Structure 1
Amino acid sequence: MKKEVIVIGGGIIGLCSAYFLQKEGHKVTLIDQSNMDSGASYVNAGYLSPSHIIPLSAPGVMKQGLKWMLNPSSPLYIKPRFNADFLKWAWAFNKSCNRDHVNKSIPFIKDITLWSQVLYDDIKKDENFKFHYEKKGFLMLCQTNKILEKQIGFAELAKSNGLDAAAVSLNDIKELEPNLAINTIGGTYYKCDSHSTPGEFMKEMLIYLKNNNVSFYSNEKVLDINIKNKLITSIKTNKRTFKADEIVLAAGSWSGLLSKKLNLNLLLQAGKGYRINSYKKTGITIPTVLVETKVAVTPMNEFTRFAGTMEIAGINHDINKVRVNAIANAVTKYYPEISLSEEEKTDVACGLRPVSADGLPYIGKSEKCSNLTIATGHAMLGWSMGTGTGKLVSEIISNKKTTLDISAFHPDRRF
């Protein structure tokens, strides 16, 4: 049965949901409050990373966040505030930071990230897309023995879960990256990972959807959602009223605010990240994380992107220059011959990643609303899980058995 579907949100999750829904023959309308040319889907590191099998809410993360609270340049910053939504999220997040949660989460994260890579391949081939997409693996560079030992342990965990991962020596790293000086003592290498240039994919997908009968309403903010007998009857924006058979909530960091209109307990916080682009020749050819500083480095199409920080401080797009400088300083610390200019740092951009209370996305239907499918909360893995999430959304709305077990992603799960 073909349906009329409204997708709220024009980021990677919303676009991929629209893509697979229209492939199923549904009539799709997409609403976004922005001009759909900026945000987390455009400024992320472009990683397709099965290697990131450990959820954000891992043992020690909250403790480390508290230690870094007074350090304005720290990789993780959690701004304390007397806000009920934040306090509920922080309590639940802290409860999730345990080994049992990590072990239960790994197979779910691995399955959807690996599947998403396959779906990126399929989309590029089927639609003849030209977006930059390479499979060169992924490096984790370390500067201290303590951190190196920890990363080797993570690589061994990934390998035990079937991923192609291994420790690499300084000589190995020089062979992988022969054209630049690197200040490191060793690291790990994940051959299972790949990378892309996000803006290129987003642009091609937007063009494709517009040419394939998906209706777009940009710069429209959802003001109200009317619900009766657990059924959404209409959606009101600042310009008009919409009605549809099914609704997809894929509004990223704004999903939590919209879920309140449906009386849903969707614990979600915005996690701000920054990116600096350099159009100079850096010599970097393999995506890399500078582990101690948690800065992501990606060789994209005609430029290199340096991205980092997780700043949980509410929904805002304020640029903190201290954090921008921290990213730039980390680059030179690991790559002594690379220095980011003031012009490059001034051209910084940020995006808000939706962070759930346990580091896992919300994908599926809530018992509180029968015609709503939720797809948000992916934290730093929205790009890695984007295509898989979109496909799952289309399967759910088409009343098909989902390809993957999504029980760990249930929107009504308790923390």
Structure 2
Amino acid sequence: MSKSAVIIGGGVIGTACAYDLTRSGWRVTVLDRGTIGGACSHGNCGYVCPSHVLPHAGPGAVWSTMKTLFQKNSPLKLRPLSVLSKLSWFLGFARRCNERDMLAAAAGIQALLNSSRTLYDELLAREPIACEWETKGLLFAFHTPHAFEHYAAVDAMLREKFAMPAERYDAAGMLKLEPALKPGVVSGGYLYKSDAQLRPDRLMSGWRTVVESAGGVFRENCEFTGFVEKNGRAVAAKTSQGEVEADAFVVATGAWTPLLNSHLGCKIPIVPGKGYSITMPRPSVCPTFPLIFEEHRVAVSPFQTGYRIGSTMEFAGYDTTMNPKRLGLLRDGATFYLKEPTCEPVQEEWWGWRPMVYDGKPIIDRSPKLPNVLIAAGHGMLGLSMATGTGKLVGEILNDQPPHVDAAAYGLKRFG
């Protein structure tokens, strides 16, 4: 008889795990406290970006963060009480702001990013998921000559140490490549052609259908409250809809995961980093490429059926309010660079909690308390980019197969 698995969390990571497990013969039930794909997997910018190899913790990051905090309209916001309540997390981040730790973390990040990029190609060729998949690349645009030239060192590092080359464009080249940019605003840019884009909500709905067609079950508005334990193992998930028995369990609860520490038997070093986005119809002069405006930290996603601007980072704990100032920063950033930055009517203003781990790598490991419970969380801003590789790795671990990437890189032991 086939084995059964309960996946707690119906975002892109949980759905990816469900897909791989159903393909290898498992009977899978996915539980979500809200709607499937309704949290951070819904309103992000849809980038699948192997170029995002480097973690946030790197040389000079503490100083640059402090400077940014005192800038008017900073894309980064820290609430003092949130920092104090998560002081150990921020100290862990500060300790890793050196080249050695940055490069070590980047190796683990790249392994999952590259794996996932290939697996997305395979997934979308194999399954009928209409998610507006495009492989044009991701264009980084810089306003000042200083920022443009400063990034050259980053580009050289990505090229030399991670085999991640980009095409470099001067101001004239950028305007020719991307006519939606305003003349006289951009000094130059870099195009990472290995990056891709999709529409996240359509990926989630299509992927869910594929999993359901293979026998997977999704339960919405089903809140997890703990495990039924027997002989040192979990035998059922306790939920608001009753107990759900299984042979194995995957905890893919994103930013919520630290609230389950007592059930998992360990401290999960994740804090929520709130991001925002605005979705609307495509403007008449719409960008050809997905764009990141580095100095303003604003991302632009020209979907086939819509248009989204997003980003910012707000460390405010589990705050559920919509901050209109953050939405204003998105509009301002897009307006600075683009001929037609927005379009009416606005279809959705959104926020979501990114599950941030201070070293930049996700946690994919067994619970020290319950060995048949596997944690798959903490993908930060790269959950979509790492989803397919994470799903494959989780399947390999639960099926006792050799992992296709170094699983130790994502283990709990690295936190001491």
TM category (shorter chain) comes to: over 0.9
Q: Does residue 80 of structure 2 align to residue 77 of structure 1?
A: no
Aligned to 2:8: 8
Q: Does residue 207 of structure 2 align to residue 205 of structure 1?
A: yes
- Structure 1 residue ranges without an equivalent (≥5): none
Deviations 1:223-279 (A, max 9, x none): 122445542233211220122111101011111111332221111111111111231
Deviations 1:146-197 (A, max 9, x none): 3212221111111112123132211221221135425211121211111111
Report if aligned partners of 2:265, 2:367 keep a CA contact under 8 Å in 1.
no
Counterparts of 2:248 and 2:351, CA distance in 1: 32
Aligned to 1:38: 38
Deviations 1:303-329 (A, max 9, x none): 221111111111233111111101100
Equivalent residue in structure 2 for 1:216, among 215, 218, 226? 218
1:12-411 paired onto structure 2 within 5 Å: 12-69=12-69, 73-81=73-81, 86-160=86-160, 161-182=162-183, 183-227=185-229, 230-279=232-281, 280-335=283-338, 337-340=339-342, 343-344=345-346, 347-411=348-412
Read off the aligned partner of 2:245 and give its amino acid letter.
K
Q: Which moved more, 1:83-92 or 1:149-158?
A: 83-92
Change beyond 3 A, Cα 1:282–1:316: farther
Q: Secondary structure at the match of 1:270?
A: strand
Q: Name the TM-score, length of structure 1 as normaliser.
A: 0.94
Q: Secondary structure at the match of 2:325?
A: helix
Counterparts of 2:67 and 2:83, CA distance in 1: 21
Q: Secondary structure at the match of 2:295?
A: helix
Report if aligned partners of 2:284, 2:340 keep a CA contact under 8 Å in 1.
no
Read off the aligned partner of 1:202 and give its amino acid letter.
M
Counterparts of 2:119 and 2:158, CA distance in 1: 22
Report if aligned partners of 1:246, 1:371 keep a CA contact under 8 Å in 2.
yes
Report if aligned partners of 2:179, 2:287 keep a CA contact under 8 Å in 1.
no
Read off the aligned partner of 1:45 and give its amino acid letter.
C
Q: Name the TM-score, length of structure 2 as normaliser.
A: 0.94
Q: Secondary structure at the match of 1:133?
A: coil
Counterparts of 2:125 and 2:228, CA distance in 1: 40
The number of equivalent residue pairs is 413
Read off the aligned partner of 2:302 and give its amino acid letter.
P
Counterparts of 2:324 and 2:210, CA distance in 1: 37
Query: Please, what is the CA RMSD of the aligned residues?
Result: 2.0
Q: Which moved more, 1:353-362 or 1:139-148?
A: 139-148
Counterparts of 1:85 and 1:259, CA distance in 2: 16
Report if aligned partners of 1:72, 1:323 keep a CA contact under 8 Å in 2.
no
Report if aligned partners of 2:48, 2:196 keep a CA contact under 8 Å in 1.
yes
Q: Which moved more, 1:71-80 or 1:123-132?
A: 71-80
Q: Secondary structure at the match of 1:413?
A: helix
- Structure 2 residue ranges without an equivalent (≥5): none
Change beyond 3 A, Cα 1:362–1:162: same
Counterparts of 2:348 and 2:305, CA distance in 1: 16
Read off the aligned partner of 1:374 and give its amino acid letter.
I
Counterparts of 1:314 and 1:67, CA distance in 2: 22
Q: Secondary structure at the match of 2:386?
A: helix
The alignment-based identity, stated in percent, is 31
Report if aligned partners of 2:180, 2:340 keep a CA contact under 8 Å in 1.
no
Report if aligned partners of 2:178, 2:289 keep a CA contact under 8 Å in 1.
yes
Q: What is the CA distance between 1:106 and its match in structure 2?
A: 2.1
Change beyond 3 A, Cα 1:293–1:21: same
Q: Which moved more, 1:255-264 or 1:41-50?
A: 255-264
Counterparts of 1:154 and 1:141, CA distance in 2: 14
Counterparts of 2:235 and 2:83, CA distance in 1: 31
